[in-house]
Amino acid sequence: MPVRACHILIPGDWNTPTGGYTYDRRLVLALRELGWSVDVHELHGTWPHPGAPDLAAASACIAALPDGALVVADGLAFGCLADAVRPHAGRLRWVALVHHPLHLETGLSANDSAQLRASESQALQFARQVVVVSHSTAAEVVALGVRPDDIAVVEPGTDPSLPRPSPRPDGPVQLLCVATLTPRKGHAVLLQALEGLVHLPWVLHLVGSAERDPGTAARLQAQAQPLGERVVWHGELPGAALHAHYGAADVFVLPSLYEGYGMVVAEAIANGLPVVCTDGGALAHTLPSAAGLQVPAGDVPSLQAALARVIAEPALREHLAAGARAAAGQLPTWPQQAALFAAVLEGVV
């Protein structure tokens, strides 16, 4: 039986409540429940744009790992570490965990995108196995030069949720969007769509950090000013507070331009919420058709039309909510996905 032990390299604070960090954290905790010994190493720095001190500290961390160690590296850092990994490509067993390719982030210059693509492509050549969170991301990793046989898809898990309260008979429709305030998440498109729906009864609740991209956050808050108190900014919230918002919402909205998977859509479905989202990246496959309405990424008129329908038609909301409840029973759990991940790691060992 192989030794059930590994090291995992996390770019920053692994308690950060975003989808990628949640995936890493939940898999580590579930692996430990399965009997694995997992050592977590936080690589502090401004990933995926590390400074020289960040790279030096990461190199020192890698050099200190014992010979033969199984090392899982989150792609947010791994894609920038080709030079640090190269001297240890033979003595360490590398597994790259790619949530989405770095060069596909919205808002990058052509030069930055090309540099990140080249860096990540180079680093991935040193991985014995690449784990991705969706089949869509798998295809994008193949485009970076990784053999399909070296890629394993392990989608995120979900937690069982409490039964939803009965629908409110009146009052504005409570829209919920959970996403960090960055260009890729498409908040500007959502606010523009809602500007044309002021004649309908709705309130938008935005949950997500404004600290990671203060410039984008400031622009979004300025854009939302004409909508007044109909847009509520909650900032980044811990688990219990976030789940309370899922329970209080009527409709979940994700206007992302691109997603490597879209964990919050799965969480909304697990909570029995009807969903309106785009088809950006893996979202085209994440949302079951019976659970929501899907529109082209970045298409303001299409998003506006879909939102108008779910706001104005209670019967449609209930129909989609029933589809979400049915789909929730098919979602994988974290223990199930940890077992899949463990099988991948054992194959590398």
| 140 and 181 belong to one structural domain | no
Q: Is residue 162 part of a domain?
A: no
Mean pLDDT of 156-184: 85
Alpha carbons 330 and 264: distance in angstroms, whole number: 16
The closest of 213, 144, 135 to 179, measured between CA atoms, is: 213
Mean pLDDT of 293-309: 98
Q: Is residue 57 part of a domain?
A: yes
Q: Could you read off the pLDDT of 103-136 as tens digits, one per residue?
A: 999 989 999 999 999 999 999 999 999 999 999 9
> Is the confidence at residue 161, as pLDDT, over 90?
no
Q: Is residue 168 part of a domain?
A: no
Q: Is residue 164 part of a domain?
A: no
> Is the confidence at residue 215, as pLDDT, over 90?
yes
Out of 120-129, 160-169, 301-310, 336-345, which region has the weakest mean confidence (pLDDT)?
160-169
| 265 and 280 belong to one structural domain | yes
| 10 and 135 belong to one structural domain | yes
Mean pLDDT of 41-64: 96
Q: How confident is residue 3, by pLDDT bands cut at 50, 70 and 90?
A: low
Q: Provide the number of structural domains found in the chain.
A: 2
User: Treating both helix axes as pointing N-terminal to C-terminal, what angle do 263-270 and 19-33 enclose, rounded to 10 degrees?
Assistant: 70
| 92 and 193 belong to one structural domain | no
pLDDT of 18 reads 86
For residue 285, CA distances in Å to 63, 137, 261, 281 come to: 40, 11, 8, 8
Q: Is residue 316 part of a domain?
A: yes
How many residues appear in the chain? Answer: 349
| 305 and 204 belong to one structural domain | yes
Q: Is residue 167 part of a domain?
A: no
Q: How confident is residue 167, by pLDDT bands cut at 50, 70 and 90?
A: low
| 222 and 288 belong to one structural domain | yes
| 316 and 212 belong to one structural domain | yes
Q: Domain range for residue 337?
A: 5-157+332-348
pLDDT of 127 reads 98
Q: How confident is residue 165, by pLDDT bands cut at 50, 70 and 90?
A: low
The closest of 105, 97, 70 to 81, measured between CA atoms, is: 97
| 207 and 142 belong to one structural domain | no
Q: Could you read off the pLDDT of 9-29 as tens digits, one per residue?
A: 999 999 888 889 999 999 999
Alpha carbons 299 and 3: distance in angstroms, whole number: 50
pLDDT of 349 reads 80
CA atoms within 13 A on the CB side of 67: 1
Q: Is residue 292 part of a domain?
A: yes
Q: Is residue 262 part of a domain?
A: yes
- What is the domain-level CATH number for residue 149? 3.40.50.2000
> Is the confidence at residue 2, as pLDDT, over 60?
no
∠ CA 122-123-124 to the nearest 5 degrees? 95
Alpha carbons 334 and 341: distance in angstroms, whole number: 10
| 317 and 283 belong to one structural domain | yes
> Is the confidence at residue 1, as pLDDT, over 90?
no
| 258 and 284 belong to one structural domain | yes
> Is the confidence at residue 147, as pLDDT, over 80?
yes
75 alpha-carbon distance from chain centroid: 13
Q: How confident is residue 245, by pLDDT bands cut at 50, 70 and 90?
A: very high
| 182 and 74 belong to one structural domain | no
Q: How confident is residue 170, by pLDDT bands cut at 50, 70 and 90?
A: confident
| 292 and 215 belong to one structural domain | yes
Average pLDDT, the chain: 94
